Structure 1
Amino acid sequence: MNPKALLEAALFVSDKPLSLERLSKVVGVGSIEEVKQLIEEMKKELEKEDRGIELVETPEGFELRIKKEYRERVAKLAPLADLSDGMLRSLALIAVKQPIKQSTIVKIQGNKAYGYIRMLEAKGLIKSEKFRRTKILRTTSEFEKYFGKSVDEIKRMIEEKIKE
């Protein structure tokens, strides 16, 4: 089997970043250095203008992503494109105000917020932890991956829209 093709297949199929160690096991090469070399070769190939994806290193490992210039055009095809307006409002509140109490969101949005929060958690965009009789909500790395921007970048965009 072709190690580079196997590396590409592993990165494509994985729903989370893969570490060098994990990739080394999957690809079946002898050393981490060999995996690093394969990754560099793949990165160079994907940097070409006629490619729609890129190989990115994150703190958790390596992953394939859609290049920024193509994200907007293909976003509706993504599995999370089914976010309702209510879910997006809840998600925006969590992103901008995090960490935020679930009870605060319910006060703003009403009881429907409980369902939105459950669905956002199920999609992996937010995480919660018990805090007394409520929950504390935060966005996850999946949130940043999905939107292709950091929480800080999104906060700045929202603040700019509010000023307009």
Structure 2
Amino acid sequence: LYVAGKPLDLKELCSVLSTRSKKKTKKIVKMLIEEYCSKRTALEIIALKDERYVLQLKAEFTPLVKKLVNRPLLSLGPLKTLSYIAFRQPVLQKRVIDVRGQHAYGHIKTLREMGLIIAERSGRSIALKTTDYFADYFGLTLETASMKRELRKIFGTGLKEEK
């Protein structure tokens, strides 16, 4: 999990452990989770949705780490563009540009380079949607409809619906 630097699903963990038994793998992961919980360490193993697991920094250490990090992951402009894509996905790039303005081309490029969104050809258009990395980074479900519901819970119902 540490070397992966990203969440791994049961299938990947089974492969690493050279076993086909998901039950055995779950048991090993559970033991690791308990071991990390019992130690005074800055890391923890979290069980994500969809039977995926990640090794991450414990929340209590976040303020300490924030002192070392000078800037946020994204500035406000790209963050707004990302949130628009997440709420409306899949959304045509043209629509994002119409709503967010010409500067959104740069935002989209940055978001793609960061692995937060992907662009897929849809006829002559380009459809944008979030990636698994986006869902993992923000602790959301991979399935789009569920993700949108989670985002609505987080940000409330004050979001405008588009016609």
Tell me the TM-score normalized by structure 2.
Answer: 0.70
Amino acid at match of 1:157: I
Asked whether the 8 Å contact 1:94–1:139 carries over to 2, the reply is: yes
Gaps of 5+ in 2: 142-146
Aligned partner of 1:47 in structure 2 is 37
| Structure having the larger proportion of residues in helix | 1
Amino acid at match of 1:64: L
Q: Does 1:82 find its partner at 2:73?
A: yes
Aligned partner of 1:128 in structure 2 is 119
Aligned partner of 2:151 in structure 1 is 154
2:6 is matched with which residue: 10, 16, 20?
16
Aligned partner of 1:141 in structure 2 is 132
Aligned partner of 1:93 in structure 2 is 84
Q: CA RMSD in A?
A: 3.3
Q: Once the 2 structures are TM-superposed, how far is the Cα of residue 148 of structure 1 from its aligned partner?
A: 2.2
Q: Cα deviation per residue 1:23-65 (whole Å; 9 max; x = unaligned)? A: 455456x674654443221111233484542232553743223
Any idea what SS the aligned residue of 1:13 has? Answer: coil
Asked whether the 8 Å contact 2:10–2:51 carries over to 1, the reply is: no
Amino acid at match of 2:85: I
* Count of paired positions: 150
Task: Quote the sequence identity (%).
Answer: 31
Q: 2 CA distance for matches of 1:108 and 1:76?
A: 35
